Amino acid sequence: MSHAEPWANPSAPLKVLQWLGKEDAPLLFRLRADMRQWLWGLQFMRECTPAHTRHNIEQIVRLGTYSRDMLQALRADTGLHYDQRTQGILHFYTSKKEFDGALKPAEQMRALGCERQVISAEEAIKLEPALAHIRSQLAGATYTAEDESGDANRFARELVKLCEAAGVKFLMSHTVTALRDAGGRIDHVEATDSEGRFQRLRADSFVLAMGSLSPIYAALLGIRLPIYPAKGYSVTMPVKDASMAHQVSLTDDEFKLVFSRLTGPNGDRLRIAGTAELNGYDRDLNRVRCEAIVRRVEELFPGAGDTTQASFWTGLRPATPSNVPLIGKTKLPNLYLNTGHGTLGWTHACGSGKSIAHIVSGVAPEVDFAFCGM
């Protein structure tokens, strides 16, 4: 929940200009002949004012703290395990300018109930001794003790098992081809199964939660969603030298990377994820960007991970210009939105799910958030 400062902030326009054309840039706009990309980019720039940034932080923090509470309640009720760690998240800064720029957002977050504390480099090393290697580079840090981390993939798979035990039916390996409306309502969803057989799926209510594909389906219904795919990268490698590897979850704000330690059925691993590439729906792995992440890991924690066994993954995040997700009603009375979560999909998952369940049921959500259509 401490990752509440949106990508669109007053410092972003200059950074974007500096990063243009750099293959390993933390945020890369790969300019295309794509009107949706240009319109999204203009909206992104409009969100970079101090007033918009303060408003967006407020929305993101409120949903994030509520979602954390819902996640903890879910874990307590079900015993869900997903390699979770509850040691907080430490944001460290190797640039004094970046550190100074984080102070005001951290102050605003604290006022909203997210206890993101500003700490010295020495205090950061006490919390995470693995940072001692770069002591001379550390400008400062912030620490949120209430933050958590874990394996998002395992969380999703374990949650599926719980839902199936409760009677939920999942149609895996299906491809949604269209949402069909009739009489001002969604009548059915058209889909094909893994063998290409056509199906019409009918229900009382429908929630559009198709990630970066959401605007494509919504456009056919005359609904414009300000979502564009932001390709993110993830690197996972076995721990090679435990004495050099971090224990606390970390965020490298300058390079837009997060570092997690995963210890579970799949062994002791480091997972490093982040950056964003705006390049349409392309999901190809860019080796330059992959190597840049591995290089940063070696700079910070030399020898901690076995880079020879690093595995790479990329996925498309459904990004809104403001980083605030779209949750709530649409102009069609039985179609709802739960999409546009960008880099905070898991952070906001439980709070978003609980809220959209309330909205579909005609009950007011428990969190003060700018829900769509409310």
> For strand 175-182 and strand 140-144, is the pairing parallel, antiparallel, or unpaired?
unpaired
Complete DSSP assignment for 57-124: HHHHHHHHHHHHHHHHHHHHHH---SS-B-S-EEEEES-HHHHHHHHHHHHHHHHTT--EEEE-HHHH
CA distance 91 to 69: 21
The pTM score is: 0.93
> How do the domains of the chain map onto residue ranges?
1-170+204-374
User: What region does 83 belong to: left with phi over 0, alpha with psi -120 to 50, or beta?
Assistant: left
What local confidence, expressed as pLDDT, does residue 21 receive? 79
What local confidence, expressed as pLDDT, does residue 130 receive? 95
C-beta separation of 179 from 220 below 8 A = yes
CA distance 340 to 325: 4
C-beta separation of 70 from 351 below 8 A = yes
Instruction: Kindly give, in sequence order, each residue whose CB lies less than 8 Å from that of residue 129, ignoring residues fewer than 6 positions away.
Output: none
Q: Does the domain spanning 1-170+204-374 belong to CATH 2.60.40.420?
A: no
CA distance 340 to 326: 6
CA distance 221 to 208: 12
What local confidence, expressed as pLDDT, does residue 22 receive? 85
pLDDT by position in tens, the chain (length 374): 999 999 999 999 998 888 887 888 888 888 888 999 999 999 999 999 999 999 999 999 999 999 999 999 999 999 999 999 999 999 999 999 999 999 999 999 999 999 999 999 999 999 999 999 899 999 999 999 999 999 999 999 999 999 999 999 999 999 999 999 999 999 999 999 999 999 999 999 999 999 999 999 999 999 999 999 999 999 999 999 999 999 999 999 889 999 999 987 888 999 999 999 999 999 999 999 999 999 999 999 999 999 999 999 999 999 999 999 999 999 999 999 999 999 999 999 999 999 999 999 999 999 999 999 97
**242: Cα within 13 Å, side-chain hemisphere:** 4
Going from the C-alpha of 345 to that of each of 211, 212, 317, 326, the distances in angstroms are 9, 12, 8, 12
What local confidence, expressed as pLDDT, does residue 86 receive? 92
Q: Report which of 145, 154, 125 is spatially closest to residue 263, judged by C-alpha positions.
A: 154
